[in-house]
Each structure stands twice: as C-alpha cells, then as structure tokens.
Structure 1
C-alpha cells in the first residue's frame, strides 16, 4: 500500500481514476486540487487538499507531509479561459523535490504526438514541456498514458462518464456523420473507465515503461459508422471530409459540432491515433478487459 495523490482528481479523467484506485482498496488516496470541496470529498471518501501549484517548495512539502509516494496527474493540459497555463511542470518539479515521492504519471491521456503537431494544437506544446521537465527529474520513475481518443463521447449520457459532452465525426443522437478522410484509417478508442482501471492496476507493477499504452478498441470510422447504424437500426446522413479540406481548417458541420474538429480530423486520417506499440499495459495486465465500440453503442443506443 502506498500513498497516491491525484492532481485534477475532481473531474473528467481524474475522477474516474480516483474511483478506480479507491475501489481496489489497496492504497491511500488523496486529491490535489486548487480549492477544497468538502461535499465531493465526503462523496468520494478521500480528502481533497487545496494546493498552490505555483509554489513548488510548498507543494513538495505537502507531498512529504501526506506521504505521497505516487503522483497521478490528470491536470487538463489546456490554458484556462483566463489564459493561465496548466502547472504540470511545477507539479513534476515538486514531486522530484519531495523526499517521499518516487513515482509520477504525467498528464497526457492522448496519442503519440510528434513535434510537427506542436503548431496544430496548444496542448501538444504543453505536453512536450512536461516531457522535458520529466527528463530533468533526478529521483522519479515516470510514465505517461497513451490511450487514443476517449470512447466516452459516443456513449454519453447513457454510459457513465465524467467527460463533458463533445460531438466529433459521428453525431449519434442526430443520425449524422462527417467522416474524416477516407474513413478507412484505424483509430484507437479507450473509455475512461478502462483507463482508470489500468492506472489503478499499474500502481502495483514493479516498474513502468516510459510510455504506457492502452488499447481499448481499434476500429475505422467507417466501421464505427456501420456499428452505430446497426445498433440504432437506421441509416445515417453521411459526408466525407478529405484530408485536403481538413488541412484548410474546413469540416462538415454536424448538429452538435465543436471548433477543433479539423485538427483532430487530420490526426485521425493520418494515423496518429492508430498507434501499435511493441508492448502495452493490455499485455502486462491481461486480466483487465476493455470496453469495445460495439459494446458501448449497444449499451448507449440499442
């Protein structure tokens, strides 16, 4: 049993991770947050510590005082509405400075990016900055999780998730699709509930790889569309956006669309989300079974 501090553990991926670790009954869990939340703390059954991420020394002292052996970061790697950048680097520095902290999972929860992606999305630069900070750390074993795209979005609200509703490629409630590129490039999808289970189980592994891969399911958009149509027993209205169109920042508007669809669409079609590592946590932890796209659709829409 070790002490685990989950940064950003009150929402989205973080809350799922907290619940999964608590469910194992193996570790002492606390949440690192910007503000205290007694009501949520009581609901989750774990303390929520209000910390100042900008004060590295004070944060390191907090980690020591609460005997946090492992830090799991689920900090959102995007600027806040006010423009404030996430304090992932400061969290890494504090964990490295803490005499008690030996491990950290850095916030990524996405796809294997290259430097060419930096100009396409602000989150990529922030993740590379965190990677540089990890390389400078002297006392930490670290990993980051690569899990593809969150499957949750196509099951909300019928399938439990703490992710905010987002419409991308398949607008299932409105029986509409705007397929990126040919629709034949495989994409890895993983539900946050499965990600959380793998995080919880990985705490018991003797060592970590620098990158921890999870593959929930791998389907093309055309396969995803077919499964959705079969599940709902209806034909969708379908458009295809070529890679050239996506590179111009143009996408077919869906009834529930969001602004960043063109960039993500390029990554889908160019195979960024079809990663195939030599080893993954699926191999290391074969007892953990992941939700498949077909199962998700049947739970949510059949």
Structure 2
C-alpha cells in the first residue's frame, strides 16, 4: 500500500483531495500540517503529522519514517513564507529515499511569465516549477481552471474558502469583467480531486495535467445563474481600461472577507479573465479517465440552487 502525503490537507482543496484519496482504500494517507492536528471526522481517518517547514532535514526524516511515495501539495501560496515552505518541501522530497513524485500547489490556470504583470504572485509557482525541474522527482502541474464552487456558495458541498468571483448567485448580483465574453474553463473541486487521484495510477506524468468540467463565459454563466434562481440579477460591467487601472466594482455582499480583500481578489480575477488566463488549452486529460463524469456548469447551478428559485 503506497503512502500519499497531502501537505496542507486540513482544509481547502487539500482536504477535498484527502476525501477523494480515502475513497480509494488503496492508499495510506498522511496529512502534513504546520499546526496542531485537527479533530475532524475526515482527518481522523488519516495520520496528521505536524512538521516544521523551516527544517528540511526533519521533513526528510518524517518522509522516510512514513515511507511517503508521493507528495500532493495543497499549501495556500499567498505569502513569501508559504512559498518558501513549499520550496523546502520540494528539497526534502528530493533528499528522501522513499519519495518519488510531487504535485505542486497550483490548481488553477497555466502560470506563465507573461502573466506576471497581472499577478506578481505567479512568481511563487514558477519558482517551484523551476526547482522541480532540477530534481529527480516526477511532477505534474494540475490545471482545472476556475473552481465552480464559488458560484455555489454557501449552499454547495465544498471546503473552499468563500469569495465572490464576478457573480454572487446567492444575492443575485453580478459584477462582470470586460464585455463578459472571455472564455473560462471551470471545474468542480470534487471532480478535480477525483482526477488527481486517478493521476496516481499513471506511470508517467506530463508537465501539465489539464482537466476541465466545462468552458463558459461570464455572460453565459449569468444566464444560467438567472435561470437557476428564477430571477434577473443586478448587473454591472467593469471595462478593461478600468480593470487595468485597478478600478473595479467590489461585490456589495461580503462574507468573511474585508472590503479591501474583496477588492484585491476582484482586481486579480478580472485582470486574469480579460487576459484569457482561465481559457485552458483544449488538449486535456479528461478522456484518459472516462469513468469520471465531471459536472457541467448548468447542472451544477440547477442542482445547487433548485430550492431557491
């Protein structure tokens, strides 16, 4: 039985990946965390291991003690410190005699240098990818586009932190970037997790593992959301010039985030949307795993909001 370690597996997409791994029953699942172990019915089925990301040698010792074959990183890379934690984890995996594979924490679009002006934090992901290239580890960068979950909150089953990305389905409001016709690839987090587990069966990994549940524009998404809710939304459009200048419409209904955090997120998502970053290449790996039937956007919205129409 192979041991899979999920770094940052106590919440967010990491916990969703842990749930999917546990369903397989053929992996021993350990969760690497820098915090104290959590009391949780899902995590109770794993072994939670508290580690110090600043101590590479102790991480190596932990990986070898538990014979970790594959690391799936789901560390939230929002700061320089978090980015360094993942870099240290890569170095530890390279030194470990047991660890052969590594999935870095990305789970979005294909990060490239030309997108750095839109999102300087892309540097964190590029640095990790460059480091992985220099190791003997097999690795793959998983790209599902935008997670559908954001348009199902707070009703949908998810571990993802709540944000409004363009359309607030719960409050029937939309602030759409550009003309609303930029294509986005979208995937439900539980479908993404199912695909990641399937990747473990492959003998070889491509540099990028691209999956998507659907492709859609904000205008198309708005129509589906209005259909699901049975009413017209209040809609504003932010033009490309304003978005580039950082002048965006902040969602009026905020849950768990400050207005400034919501503004920063809206600017970031809007810039990446009009830059085409979320429109993934059509060469995808869905066909390799035909038993996974990813949910489409319309089905996702109708199922989530059927009692609210």
Find the counterpart in structure 2 of residue 270 from structure 1: 275
After superposition, the C-alpha distances for 1:249-290 in whole angstroms (9 at most, x for unaligned) are: 011232136122122112112211111142x22021121111
Give the root-mean-square deviation of aligned CA atoms.
1.5
> Are 1:190 and 2:180 an aligned pair?
no
- 5+ residue gaps, structure 1, are none
After superposition, the C-alpha distances for 1:55-89 in whole angstroms (9 at most, x for unaligned) are: 1111011101100000000011111xxx7333111
Find the counterpart in structure 1 of residue 91 from structure 2: 93
CA 38–226 in structure 1, closer or farther in 2 if over 3 Å, else same: closer
Aligned counterpart for 2:141 among listed residues 139, 144, 148: 144
User: SS of the residue aligned with 2:209?
Assistant: strand
In structure 1, distance between residues paired with 2:157 and 2:14: 14
Does the 8 Å contact 2:75/2:82 carry over to 1? no
User: SS of the residue aligned with 1:107?
Assistant: coil
Does the 8 Å contact 2:7/2:73 carry over to 1? yes
In structure 2, distance between residues paired with 1:286 and 1:42: 27
Does the 8 Å contact 1:148/1:215 carry over to 2? yes
TM-score normalised by the chain length of structure 2: 0.92
Does the 8 Å contact 2:118/2:271 carry over to 1? no
Q: Counterparts of 1:1-302 in structure 2 under 5 Å?
A: 1-37=1-37, 39-40=39-40, 43-79=43-79, 84-86=81-83, 87-137=85-135, 139-256=136-253, 258-259=262-263, 260-278=265-283, 280-302=284-306
In structure 1, distance between residues paired with 2:42 and 2:193: 20
User: SS of the residue aligned with 1:3?
Assistant: strand
How many pairs align? 297
In structure 2, distance between residues paired with 1:38 and 1:179: 38
- 5+ residue gaps, structure 2, are 255-261
